[in-house]
């Protein structure tokens, strides 16, 4: 029987084709609808969102750090400037593997652990797409290595910037201070919007005190970048406002003379213009190179400064607190005159020692070990100052009492901060019965009054306080706030007056003549430095004990360790008829005033006898003369 033959079914095939066609069309329509919906979302509903994200990738707002203000001395010599340098930075968002990138960079150029630590700290306090510095002061060779490897270091940038530089190394280290990289604590306290793009801040001295004036205001620019973060063009720019330039009262040549005179000795010199309160010189030795701190001092360098027995980081001019010794005797004498307890003709018997009524203890005069007796059978005010008679001032202190001394010496600026425009100034101590009760919880004893009367015991002063007190004497009673700043942006800044000491002209004349005799008389304690002097000065020597000497014992310097020897002090103003400079000198463990007085002579000679500046003197430093 033949097999059956199956014929084609056109209707069925048409239905299958139609179903398949409709399915394909529906799928195509669904896909098209999805595309249209997505397009609608991108172009209409979420247009602004994606446009903003795109712009953020393409256009960035970059901070423009301001140029820090420059610092000049009174004659236009540049003391702190800004020098171009190159900085290595990383934009975190453009780096896929940060650790690998850092390792690659360390293989190319030196990067210290300190640099890495600071970098990671900064990462936590930045805005998106903000570059974080990793290394400063790149050399030309380092920049070349980074440029050659730029293609494999996405997110790594090398930018030019201005860095602080101190052209005179250690000469003004304690006066001007220095800037340093912003640390974690400072970052928390700062207005971060005001410091965007800025990595340094004033740390101490003038740099810190006038930070707000020197810093300026940050600017901004909108830039278009490519996918690798490279800037293609600047779309909009708002220039930063640079910091103001400062002109200081400091005199470069006088500062040099003071440092040169101190030499290798530990000590300080502070010189003031009595008429204005302007600080002409502020030297503390030893100093340090301020440039070491700008980008973070190395561990080795910091350890050397920190561990040095000479303590170079210690600003002796404003932080050192020393017994003023006999340098306060002119002020004590005027206090006695003001109180009506003495006259210039009042005399006191001087056997070489003094004894309180009812007390067997003898308070010795320094001259006793030299002559075996006192300065003279009876001593008046003139001799007491010129020859530094302790007995005279023991007696005056007893009659004044410690609280009256406190009242009459306070207008010289003793016992409190002077208000000098710098950092870390210490107040010293001008003792009183209340001071001892509040600070030590003990009563005051009469013998302590005698010690205070010759600037010993609890009394402590800083060199800048002594310079201010000397300036008060030079102006016959006018106390001004000492000031480093002379002008800001060409506008003069005046030092405010604090107080005036009222005394009769005859009393001032007696003090001046007695201080003149310290150098310019046959028996003055500093007569040796008066040889060949072309001007007249008023001065006072001082010696401050570092260790106590037992009753009846004799101080022998060659038997005492160097750091236990007496401090040498000297105050002076000149010329005596119209003073233009007042100064204070201290030499730590120098043995006595004979070491300090030649230093003062060298500083005064430089100020009073220097040749008039040549027209191009300041130009030789590369800066114009102010005003």
**26, 36, 37, 45, 53 from 40: Cα distances, Å:** 20, 6, 5, 6, 17
Nearest to 339 by CA among 408, 406, 392: 408
d(CA 177, CA 246): 14
d(C-alpha 240, C-alpha 62), whole Å? 12
- Among candidates 250, 320, 252, 324, which has minimal Cα distance to 286? 320
CA distances to 128, 154, 542, 545 from 366, in Å: 71, 76, 11, 11
Q: What share of the chain is helix, strand, coil (3-state, %, to 5)?
A: 40, 20, 40
3-state secondary structure 435-450: HHHHHHCCCCCHHHHH
Q: Say if residues 464 and 455 touch (Cβ distance below 8 Å).
A: no
What does the H/E/C string look like for 565-604? CCEEEEEEEECCCCCCEEEEEEECCCCCHHHHHHHHHHHH
Q: What tokens were used for 207?
A: 């740099």
- 326 assigned to active site: yes
**Look-up of token digits 């005279």:** 392
Nearest to 375 by CA among 352, 396, 397: 352
Q: Is 586 left (phi over 0), alpha (psi -120 to 50) or beta?
A: beta
Residue 187 tokens read as 């970052």
Q: Which residues contact 75 (CB under 8 A, 6 or more apart)?
A: 251, 252, 253, 613, 617, 618, 625, 626
Query: Cis (ω within 30 of 0) for the bond into 375?
Result: no
CA distances in angstroms from 236 to 60, 61, 224, 241, 370, listed in the order given:
10, 9, 10, 16, 81
Torsion from C-alpha of 253, 255, 257, 261, nearest 10 degrees: -170
Tell me the C-alpha distance between 319 and 465, whole Å: 10
Tokens at 530, concatenated: 């008066």
Task: Report yes or no: 235 and 83 within 8 Å, Cβ to Cβ.
Answer: no
Go through 565-584 and write b for each residue having 16 or more CB atoms within 10 A of its CB, e for each that does not. bbbbbbbbbbebeebebbbb
Q: Are 274 and 475 in contact (CB under 8 A)?
A: yes
- Dihedral (CA of 48, 49, 52, 57) sign: negative
CA-nearest of 417, 413, 584 to 499 is 413
**Catalytic option among 326, 514, 521, 539:** 326
Q: Dihedral (C-alpha) 360, 365, 370, 374: value to the nearest 10 degrees?
A: -80
Active site residues: 326
């Amino acid at each position: 029987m033949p097999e059956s033959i199956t014929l084609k079914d056109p209707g069925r095939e048409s239905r299958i084709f139609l179903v398949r066609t409709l399915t394909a069309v529906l799928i195509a329509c669904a896909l098209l609808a999805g595309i249209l919906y997505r397009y609608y979302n991108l172009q209409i509903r979420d247009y602004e969102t994606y446009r903003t994200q795109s712009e953020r990738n393409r256009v960035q707002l970059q901070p423009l750090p301001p140029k820090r203000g420059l610092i000049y001395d009174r004659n236009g010599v540049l003391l702190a400037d800004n020098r171009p340098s190159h900085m290595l930075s990383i934009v975190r968002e453009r780096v896929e593997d940060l650790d690998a990138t850092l390792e690659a960079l360390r293989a190319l150029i030196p990067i210290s652990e300190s640099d890495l630590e600071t970098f990671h700290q900064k990462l936590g306090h930045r805005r998106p797409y903000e570059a974080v510095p990793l290394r400063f002061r790149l050399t030309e060779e380092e920049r070349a290595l980074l440029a050659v490897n730029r293609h494999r270091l996405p997110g790594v940038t090398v930018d030019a910037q201005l860095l602080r530089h101190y052209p005179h190394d250690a000469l003004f280290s304690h006066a001007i201070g220095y800037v340093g990289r912003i640390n974690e604590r400072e970052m928390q306290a700062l207005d971060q919007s005001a410091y965007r793009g800025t990595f340094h801040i004033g740390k101490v001295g003038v740099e810190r005190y006038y930070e707000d004036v020197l810093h300026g205001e940050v600017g901004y620019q909108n830039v278009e970048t490519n996918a690798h973060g490279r800037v293609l063009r600047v779309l909009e720019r708002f220039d930063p406002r640079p910091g103001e330039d400062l002109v200081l009262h400091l005199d470069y040549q006088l500062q040099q003379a003071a440092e040169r005179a101190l030499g290798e000795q530990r000590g300080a010199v502070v010189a003031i213009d009595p008429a204005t309160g302007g600080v002409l010189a502020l030297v503390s030795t030893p100093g340090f190179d301020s440039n070491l701190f700008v980008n973070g001092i190395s561990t080795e360098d910091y350890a050397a400064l920190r561990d040095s027995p000479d303590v170079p980081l210690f600003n002796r001019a404003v932080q050192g607190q020393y017994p003023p010794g006999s340098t306060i005797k002119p002020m004590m004498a005027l206090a006695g005159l003001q109180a009506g307890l003495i006259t210039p003709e009042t005399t006191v018997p001087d056997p070489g020692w003094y004894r309180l009524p009812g007390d067997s203890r003898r308070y010795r005069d320094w001259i006793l070990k030299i002559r075996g007796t006192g300065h003279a059978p009876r001593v008046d005010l003139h001799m007491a100052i010129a020859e530094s008679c302790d007995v005279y001032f023991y007696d005056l202190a007893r009659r004044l009492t410690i609280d009256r001394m406190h009242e009459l010496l306070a207008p010289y600026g003793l016992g409190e901060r002077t208000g000098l425009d710098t950092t870390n100034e210490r107040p010293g101590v001008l003792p009183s019965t209340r001071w001892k009760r509040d600070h030590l919880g003990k009563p005051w004893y009469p013998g302590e009054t005698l010690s205070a009367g010759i600037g010993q015991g609890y009394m402590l002063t800083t060199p800048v306080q002594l310079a201010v007190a000397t300036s008060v004497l030079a102006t016959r009673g006018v106390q001004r706030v000492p000031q480093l700043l002379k002008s800001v942006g060409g506008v003069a800044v005046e030092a405010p007056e604090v107080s005036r000491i009222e005394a009769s002209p005859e009393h001032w004349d007696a003090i001046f003549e007695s201080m003149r005799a310290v150098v310019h008389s046959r028996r003055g304690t500093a007569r040796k430095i008066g040889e060949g002097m072309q001007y007249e000065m008023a001065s006072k020597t001082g010696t401050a004990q570092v260790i106590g000497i037992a009753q009846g014992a004799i101080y022998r310097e060659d038997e005492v360790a160097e750091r236990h020897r007496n401090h040498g002090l000297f105050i002076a103003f000149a010329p005596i008829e119209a003073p233009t400079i007042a100064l204070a000198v201290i030499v730590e463990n120098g043995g006595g005033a004979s070491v300090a007085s030649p230093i003062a002579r060298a500083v005064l000679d430089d100020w009073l006898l220097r040749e008039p500046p040549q027209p191009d003197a300041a130009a030789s430093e590369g800066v114009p003369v102010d005003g």
